Structure 1
């Protein structure tokens, strides 16, 4: 097995640290909610931020181990990582543009887990994509896979909301109107595809030399 470079080992350590920190933040938030009788599990785990953060934690930890063991990330891992990057960036933008500052009702939870999930981890994931060595180039056909999870999440959320009357984000509330909801959903989906397109383009420009040439 080829030895990894010092840069790859540093990346591995940073990914592990970020993934474990995110896991700690999620665990802390869950415990805090339970202790303060504020945990409604089916609602908490319905948030796009929570679901994508759980996935991001696993992907970062797996990527950390991979960077410590292999000189180049696998194509499958890189595809998943590209999807996680798209979700993280969109989560950060949507939260900071649309949701930050909305008054909280009931128990006021600690701020640092939310800031970590909505600001610092997305920033780390973006920098990791831009700067880390050992990334293979991705095919443009990978774009078709990026939107599967967000669209499935929206469909499930709207069906669940119609049955329960609860929606995780204000811009999905039926009271805002079907047109408004459609604009937000289409806009966010387009943003996800746009981020993924930039990520794939960057991967093809800055790929690991041994995997730099791939067909479209």
Structure 2
């Protein structure tokens, strides 16, 4: 018997469901980008746009990452039957950033009293802090074609937050403008409170990343290539 006739063939292209996911990713990327452009336009029209402050927020930087990752992931889902490991690794990281953005905003920032600064439109804020994180989480849970990630990839998700944190603390120390109130040592609690928030948020990012990796490995064996990869 010819063994080639009995060996299952790998899919030559993406399934219809994977193509549907690709289209939804592209639409979500467009929605997030539209929300950011709307916020910027609204602030410019009301003479309230400060580029250094606006683009210094973790939410905005991570949302711009989401635009790129969703767009690239969407195009590849339309073309390829499976996701490259590097893209899955980046998606795992941006998933953690999106979820922590939603959690921190809705638990710590949503009900803060106004400081008198320009508030702007509500719907872009809801897109960036509620709808995008929720849909990015659903994408990770439901999208097909994702490879199993190695557990060592968990630390990949901390690279950007640590770099952003160093920037935010340095800028705050030099200008006395703090991106978020919980990073300001001048608030009640001082540095111990700031350090506690940092540790808790870092731990949550690690837990989200661990959960994402665990889900990617459910019922699957890690490819041998990943074991040999020293990165």
Shift, 1:31, TM fit: 0.9
Pick closer, same or farther for the CA change 1:183–1:4 going to 2, 3 Å: same
- Asked if 1:120 is matched to 2:157, the reply is no
1:2-17 counterparts in 2 under 5 A? 2-17=12-27
Deviation string 1:53-77 (CA, Å, 9 cap, x unpaired) is 0000110011100100000010000
RMSD: 1.3
1:42 to 52, 60, 63: 52
Q: Separation in 1 of the partners of 2:158 and 2:14? A: 33
In the TM superposition, what is the alpha-carbon distance from 1:106 to its structure 2 partner? 2.8
> Secondary structure of 1:3's partner?
coil
SS at match of 1:185: helix
Aligned match of 1:213: 222
2:215 corresponds in structure 1 to 202
Aligned to 1:150: 161
TM-score (norm 1): 0.95
Alignment of 1:103-118 (within 5 A): 103-104=113-114, 105-118=116-129
Q: CA deviation at 1:15?
A: 0.2
SS of residue in 2 equivalent to 1:142: helix
Residues in 2 aligned to 1:123 and 1:34: alpha-carbon distance in whole angstroms = 29
Choose which of 84, 93, 112 in structure 2 pairs with 1:102: 112
Q: What do residues 18-66 of structure 1 show as CA deviations (whole Å, max 9, x unaligned)?
A: 0011011101111111111100110100000000000001100111001
Q: TM-score normalised to the size of structure 2? A: 0.89
Residues paired across the two proteins, number: 212
